[in-house]
């Protein structure tokens, strides 16, 4: 990718502060509602918009040399939209069950983690200072969005929990890694990624609860209105982060990993 985009000069992802999790959940919810809204225009038109958002976000994010809140969260939102679309396409159009769709994305996510760790020797967000690591990072983000989409739908529909009960369930589950880190000494990197994965079904379940009609266990605000509400929240918070730079990693934290990659895998 170095032929097309400049090499990073600093960390390209934000520090994990409280607002990171707030914006992340809003992004997952907004992406879910946006993708569901675009689906009414059909796979061709709706899919074209999703791909366009994704490409704009990719070019913007990878063109920056250091972390930019606007670029980062736009790309995260774009991935939330297209990740939902891809996962829904596999279920609604290809015919995969929610369970099969969930297992498929779980395997894909595990494979990305394995390749990333084998190649780079770490999964730490503080190591995202090269294009290769950034590519692994965003591939992981894509898989988490797709996995979370179908996992939330699986609990809500296949397990008949409904959207609100699913949202409450994931609101509890997302706290488990934090508890494990606090009381049981769970590895910080593992705790981060476990929580990161859970933000998707959490946000998506709340989005579906607000947007879907009552007959589907929602409250019927509509996909478009729900998407606009969440996007408005994202814009306000990202503008605040961009202005204050509270989530910019400190230089001493954004360092390459100490471990060398496995022979045969290049570092980037």
Instruction: Report whether pLDDT(9) > 70.
Output: no
**What is d(CA 200, CA 181) in angstroms, rounded to the nearest whole number?**
20
Q: Is residue 263 part of a domain?
A: no
Q: Using the predicted structure, report yes or no on whether residue 253 has a pLDDT greater than 80.
A: no
Q: What is the mean pLDDT of residues 75-84?
A: 96
Is 259 inside a domain boundary? no
Q: What are 209-222's pLDDT values in tens digits?
A: 999 999 988 999 99
Q: What is the pLDDT of residues 184-203, one digit of tens each?
A: 989 999 999 999 999 999 99
91 domain residue, yes or no = yes
Q: Which domain holds residue 115?
A: 18-244
* Nearest partner of 257 among 105, 111, 103, 121, judged by Cα: 121
pLDDT band at 174 (very low <50, low <70, confident <90, very high): very high
How many residues are given for the chain?
268
- Is residue 51 scored above 80 in pLDDT? yes
Q: Is residue 258 part of a domain?
A: no
- Report pLDDT digits (tens) over 132-168: 999 999 999 999 999 988 999 999 999 999 999 999 9
Per the prediction, the chain carries an average pLDDT of 90
> Binning pLDDT at 50, 70 and 90, where does residue 126 land?
confident
What pLDDT, on a 0 to 100 scale, did the predictor assign at position 250? 78
pTM: 0.89
Number of domains in the chain: 1
251 found inside a domain: no
Inside any domain, residue 117: yes
Using pLDDT thresholds of 50, 70 and 90, give the confidence band for residue 265: very low
235, burial (CB in 10 Å: exposed 0-12, middle 13-18, buried 19+):
middle
Between the alpha carbon of residue 165 and those of residues 153, 176, 201, 206, 218, the distances in Å are: 12, 17, 12, 10, 11
What residue has token string 């769709």? 101
Q: Which residues, 6+ apart, have CB-to-CB distance to 172 below 8 Å?
A: none
Q: What is the pLDDT of residues 55-65, one digit of tens each?
A: 999 999 999 98
pLDDT at 264 (0 to 100): 40
How far is Cα 151 from Cα 132, in angstroms, rounded to an integer?
28
Q: Is the pLDDT of residue 267 over 60?
A: no
Question: What local confidence, expressed as pLDDT, does residue 263 receive?
Answer: 43
E strand residue ranges, the chain: none
Q: Does residue 3 lie in a domain region?
A: no
DSSP string, 8-37: PSS--S----HHHHHHHHHHHHHHHHHHHH
- 82-104 pLDDT, tens digit each: 999 999 999 999 999 999 999 99
- Domain contains 249: no
Contacts of 93 (CB under 8 A, 6+ apart): 43
Place of tokens 């999703």: 50
């Amino acid at each position: 990718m170095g032929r097309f985009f400049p090499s990073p000069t600093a960390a390209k992802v934000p520090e994990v502060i409280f607002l990171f999790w707030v914006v992340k959940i809003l992004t997952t919810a907004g992406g879910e509602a946006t993708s569901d809204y675009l689906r009414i225009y059909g796979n061709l038109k709706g899919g074209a918009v999703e791909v366009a958002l994704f490409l704009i976000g990719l070019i913007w994010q990878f063109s920056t040399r250091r972390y930019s809140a606007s670029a980062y969260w736009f790309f995260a939102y774009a991935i939330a939209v297209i990740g939902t679309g891809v996962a829904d396409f596999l279920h609604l159009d290809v015919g995969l069950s929610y369970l099969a769709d969930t297992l498929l994305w779980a395997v894909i996510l595990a494979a990305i983690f394995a390749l990333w760790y084998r190649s780079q020797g770490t999964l730490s967000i503080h190591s995202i200072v090269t294009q290769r690591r950034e590519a692994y990072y965003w591939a992981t983000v894509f898989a988490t969005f797709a996995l979370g989409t179908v996992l939330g739908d699986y609990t809500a529909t296949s397990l008949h929990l409904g959207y609100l009960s699913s949202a409450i369930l994931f609101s509890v589950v997302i706290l488990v890694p934090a508890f494990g880190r606090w009381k049981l000494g769970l590895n910080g990197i593992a705790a981060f990624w476990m929580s990161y994965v859970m933000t998707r079904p959490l946000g998506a379940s709340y989005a579906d609860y607000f947007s879907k009609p009552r007959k589907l266990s929602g409250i019927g605000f509509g996909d478009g209105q729900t998407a606009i509400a969440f996007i408005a929240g994202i814009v306000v918070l990202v503008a605040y982060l961009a202005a204050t730079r509270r989530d910019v990693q400190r230089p001493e934290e954004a360092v390459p990993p100490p471990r060398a990659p496995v022979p045969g895998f290049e570092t980037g």
